[in-house]
């Protein structure tokens, strides 16, 4: 079905930049970059998929069944996203909050042209209808000129960010959530707030470059579907399938970085020992274990790492790794459907938390706290969690980023608000230049 050509690269970093720049000519494009972050579960250093041969685009109704059929029939590489609102396809839930971005709930495409980079090796996987363009494309990319613009300047002038809710409203809503927790309705819930700019425009690629440069996360994404853009600096994996093994790596627990080495080490130690942060993480690990058990073979759900602290350019994060084994008769889409949305972005118990979230939040989450990734022809997959991300509807000139945090019985509304601002720092710096 695909012709494959392999090349050895002389300068991996330069070719990566040229490849992403070259990919901007296509209306359907997805770029996934690990930023050379060393991790146990990884197939590629970077991936570019462009130029849709087939696509699916749908709302949440029967969304997973539509995806299941598409993935099965296509039996090829497909790339795309799952929005948070697909929760309405798996449970009796609704999404009635304000939606200014208007992304479809689910979108996947089968690329004509696919580039897989690992070390200094490039593999080009082209559908047969375009495989006569491989050699010419490689030469064109290699000779591509990069014109670096000033990444702090936006084409429509300064972007002015507005808050969907004020700090006082945020604290009131956190207190409402704490009341639910104290009544025993939930143990934990992820509460989010949106920051946005209307009648504004950005250069999507330069904005992505700037965001990625100051974050260097392991699950960076540049995604374009016509006038819809996602620019993501996500540090979190949602779900990965390798053969019959399923891997989930939820993040719960955040601390700032320090330029002082000794203070930075102290912040790591304090995060690791913080009882509130650890309890947040353990609660979500229990939720993930329960979700994975719905498709796992008996006794195969394992916690490989619990509350390990990983360091990124902007923050330290507490991450756990939970794995399971599935029978090869289980559809890969069913593994996703039975775990979606991810526990780190919902809470526990999951359904009650999602109902309360819907009532307290003011914006529809859409692609934020959904997932972006791909399926291979063999039915393996890898998806991130869409956090630390800028979403942009170019036609409507609407820019948005959302941040949130886990609210537990030990939460302090003022500290939760400060954590939100810490998580929003990179996006705000990129858009407002502050």
Does residue 69 contact residue 336 with C-beta atoms inside 8 Å?
Answer: no
C-alpha 185/C-alpha 183 separation (Å) is: 6
C-alpha 82/C-alpha 373 separation (Å) is: 9
Does residue 76 contact residue 377 with C-beta atoms inside 8 Å?
Answer: yes
Q: Which two tokens stand for residue 153?
A: 């300047």
Q: Residue 41's CB: how many other CB atoms inside 10 A?
A: 14
Does residue 220 contact residue 30 with C-beta atoms inside 8 Å?
Answer: no
Question: Of these residues, 28, 236, 361, 416, which one is catalytic?
Answer: 236
Q: CA-CA distances (angstroms) from residue 164 to 156, 195, 290, 402, 403?
A: 22, 6, 34, 10, 12
Does residue 241 contact residue 381 with C-beta atoms inside 8 Å?
Answer: yes
Q: Residue 300's CB: how many other CB atoms inside 10 A?
A: 16
Q: What angle do CA 60, 242, 19 make, to 5 degrees?
A: 75
Q: CA-CA distances (angstroms) from residue 389 to 40, 195, 359, 384?
A: 24, 11, 23, 12
Does residue 326 contact residue 248 with C-beta atoms inside 8 Å?
Answer: no
C-alpha 386/C-alpha 383 separation (Å) is: 9
C-alpha 284/C-alpha 303 separation (Å) is: 12
Is 252 among the residues known to form the active site?
Answer: yes
C-alpha 386/C-alpha 37 separation (Å) is: 18
Question: Of these residues, 16, 18, 87, 252, which one is catalytic?
Answer: 252
Residues belonging to the active site? 236, 252
């Amino acid at each position: 079905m695909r012709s494959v050509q392999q090349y050895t690269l002389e300068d991996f970093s330069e070719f990566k930049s040229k490849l992403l720049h070259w990919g901007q000519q296509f209306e359907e494009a997805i770029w996934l970059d690990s930023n050379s972050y060393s991790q146990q579960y990884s197939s590629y250093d970077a991936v570019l998929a462009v130029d849709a041969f087939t696509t699916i685009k749908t709302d949440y109704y029967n969304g997973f069944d539509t995806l299941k059929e598409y993935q099965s029939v296509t039996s090829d590489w497909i790339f795309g996203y799952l929005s948070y609102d697909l929760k309405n396809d798996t449970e009796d839930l609704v999404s009635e909050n304000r939606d200014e971005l208007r992304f479809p709930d689910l979108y996947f495409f089968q690329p004509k042209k696919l580039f897989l980079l690992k070390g200094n090796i490039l593999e080009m996987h082209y559908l047969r209808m375009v495989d006569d363009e491989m050699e010419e494309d490689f030469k064109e990319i290699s000779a591509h000129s990069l014109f670096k613009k000033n990444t702090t300047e936006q084409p429509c002038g300064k972007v002015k960010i507005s808050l969907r809710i004020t700090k006082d409203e945020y604290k009131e809503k956190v207190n409402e959530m704490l009341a639910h927790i104290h009544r025993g309705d939930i143990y934990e819930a992820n509460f989010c707030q949106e920051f946005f700019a209307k009648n504004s425009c950005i250069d999507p690629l330069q904005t992505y470059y700037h965001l990625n440069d100051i974050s260097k996360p392991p699950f960076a994404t540049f995604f374009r579907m016509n006038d819809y853009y996602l620019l993501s600096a996500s540090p979190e994996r949602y779900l990965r399938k390798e053969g019959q093994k399923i891997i989930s790596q939820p993040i719960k627990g955040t601390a700032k970085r320090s330029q002082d080495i000794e203070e930075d080490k102290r912040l790591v130690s304090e995060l690791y020992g913080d009882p509130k942060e650890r309890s947040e993480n353990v609660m979500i690990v229990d939720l993930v274990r329960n979700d994975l058990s719905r498709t796992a073979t008996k006794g195969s759900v394992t916690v490989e790492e619990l509350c390990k602290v990983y360091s990124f350019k902007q923050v330290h994060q507490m991450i756990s790794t939970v794995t399971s084994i599935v029978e090869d008769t289980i559809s890969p889409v069913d593994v996703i459907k039975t775990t979606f949305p991810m526990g780190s972005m919902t809470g526990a118990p999951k359904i009650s938390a999602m109902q309360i979230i819907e009532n307290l939040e003011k914006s529809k989450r859409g692609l934020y706290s959904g997932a972006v990734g791909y399926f291979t022809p063999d039915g393996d997959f890898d998806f991130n969690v869409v956090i630390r991300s800028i979403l942009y509807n170019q036609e409507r000139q609407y820019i948005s980023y959302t941040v949130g945090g886990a609210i537990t019985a030990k939460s302090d509304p003022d500290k939760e608000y400060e954590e939100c601002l810490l998580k929003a720092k990179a996006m705000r710096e990129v858009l407002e230049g502050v």
